Structure 1
Amino acid sequence: MATRASRPDGAEQGLGDNPLADPARDPLLDAFYGPGPAKRATKKKRGKGRQPLKDGKTFRLVTFSFYEEDVARLDKLLQEARRRGHRRVSRSQIVRLALRQVDLSQLPEEV
């Protein structure tokens, strides 16, 4: 069903109908934009989630966000540990040590 373009006074304009009004009639639609969503194969959603560690792997890479003052404190702890003779200590080791010492009973109601 083609729609006709008309002027306010009722007279037809140009081609008389809009060839792009009906997507089924548009020959360039698929050429330029590919098939519509109904024709595309749906991708399976990949849910990463937490997966079990593979055999032989003993750690998982995790990223944290820290405030600048927390990073400065961590760097000071790292420097102090190295000054005391722990030359090969890393930020990760200091964070792991701190995690082992956390007592949740001392956690304030609002953090």
Structure 2
Amino acid sequence: MTAPNTLRLLPWSGPEGKPCYLSTDDGEGYMSRLADNIEAVQLGTAAELLEQALDKLDDQGTGSEDMRRLAKDLTGALREVLRVATSRGDLLAVSDPHCP
């Protein structure tokens, strides 16, 4: 649950790549649940890409084009995971005032 008067960083960007925030004290509302679901998908995708990367790195036959595509996909996934981590860290800091 989001504390009153706090903003939640959403797992998507707005126009021109700018961050989007949700202001609500209802952590179970539609937008909060949507953000939670999208975060879960993003984390799942990152886990799948990590497995693919490990397989491709072990395969001596993986071509440079495949590696570039994988690096691009991993970069996007890392960006999303960092946004999720930032958002959740912000939420933890708000919920625990003793957290630095």
TM-score by length of 1: 0.21
Specify which structure has the bigger relative contact order, considering alpha-carbon pairs within 8 angstroms and separated by 6 or more residues.
Answer: 2
Greater C-alpha radius of gyration = 1
Q: Which has the higher helix share?
A: 2
